[in-house]
Copies of this chain bind each other. A is one copy, B any other.
């Protein structure tokens, strides 16, 4: 595996703007850009941050190759001085981010770039691409895992993913979201996560009969023996043949471990209950029943409600594409520009839609927990230089419904800052945990949420509020803007 050079993985306008800045400004002014999103996918109550490790790789590898520059020259839009600048390009800015696996909410900056405007502009597209994709799939996986209610969920979507990367990094994100394994072997190798799988219908069809196919497989893999029982007829052929093979293996003194059947079609509720009875009656009550076939969180919930005897779930298309919501709406917005005195002057983008108005300035995010229960109370967006005292009362301002204020009593809450330094002046200062470490952290993160936030339908909204200072600055900027018109 070699890392691809993704430096040109950017929107063309980033480059035309870069040349514009190169020629029209005396300085390559430092600016602040925020990545944030406006609503949780699939109507959920939270999202999961993911993709930071790939962002770091991307930033580290940023450089325009000779061929890249040559290609840009061929477009006859860029001049030689600018192309020369690109040849020597490297990222010299700073990046702060909320670590992967953290639960995140709409409107809070989950990644912040502080860099000369040309650099900050170049990296916009790739950063959004990576963060949007992986956060989307991690969030979707978390919903599916929630529905499975303690059963294992396997990621099976590679063949329906939107290209190789979508399969690969989608599997990574699904593991962060709570899956216990993936069918994707390359993901297993690259991210050191468990790979799983058994056989396809074609395996059964390539033998003279189903029994022979099962027996051959069981003898080869007695320690991971899952037989696919729906090639011909699940209850008349598949399950009886599976039971025959399990019995023969036992008689032959071969211990079956982690064995069972997989249903991949038909009425999964009915078939699983029937199959369970047949397996139990034959003395194989420890054989598991797993299911696949276009599953998602809603179907799993429904099957559980029907008492389906399934305890292991293979989820493909719906999870790897986040089918009911295939894009995470992360955006990258200018928040501040450094002035001649080295201060970051807050900038705001107006919109007819109040929700779309940005939060100005060089900001950070603090998470506030209930001191007694450890549960998440609210997130607070504020300027980086604000200092808080947990022993004092804290006043929070809703950024959209501005009449809503929340007061937290001093001594009843704890705070922690979410944005961590990742690059400082071009140097990476962050070591990514392993994917399994991130997954474990993510599990703990979700434990800080009230049940009302994690449920699939109509979840309770977590307060994402502004500090008084940020609220005041935003209000002032809005007032100025309105007058300008």
Contact = CB atoms under 8 A, between A and B. Distances in A.
Interface in A1-42: 1-2, 4-6, 8-17, 19-21, 23-24, 29, 31, 33
**What is the total number of copies of this protein in its complex?**
2
A453 B203 CA distance: 38
Interface in A174-209: 183-186, 188-189, 195-203, 205-206
Given A9-B158, A166-B163, A199 B17 contact: yes
A315 B349 CA distance: 22
A5 B1 contact: yes
B161 A231 contact: no
A340 interface: no
A19 B13 CA distance: 50
Contacts of A233: 485
B160 A132 contact: yes
A48 interface: no
Nearest to A132: B160
A266 interface: yes
21 contacts: A2-B4, A8-B186, A9-B185, A11-B156, A11-B183, A11-B197, A13-B198, A20-B217, A21-B206, A129-B158, A129-B159, A129-B167, A130-B164, A134-B163, A159-B332, A162-B162, A162-B170, A206-B334, A265-B351, A265-B352, A323-B327
Given A9-B167, A16-B199, A326-B326, 18 more contacts: A8-B185, A9-B185, A11-B159, A11-B197, A13-B200, A16-B220, A16-B221, A17-B202, A17-B203, A19-B220, A31-B202, A129-B163, A129-B167, A133-B163, A163-B165, A202-B334, A205-B347, A236-B485
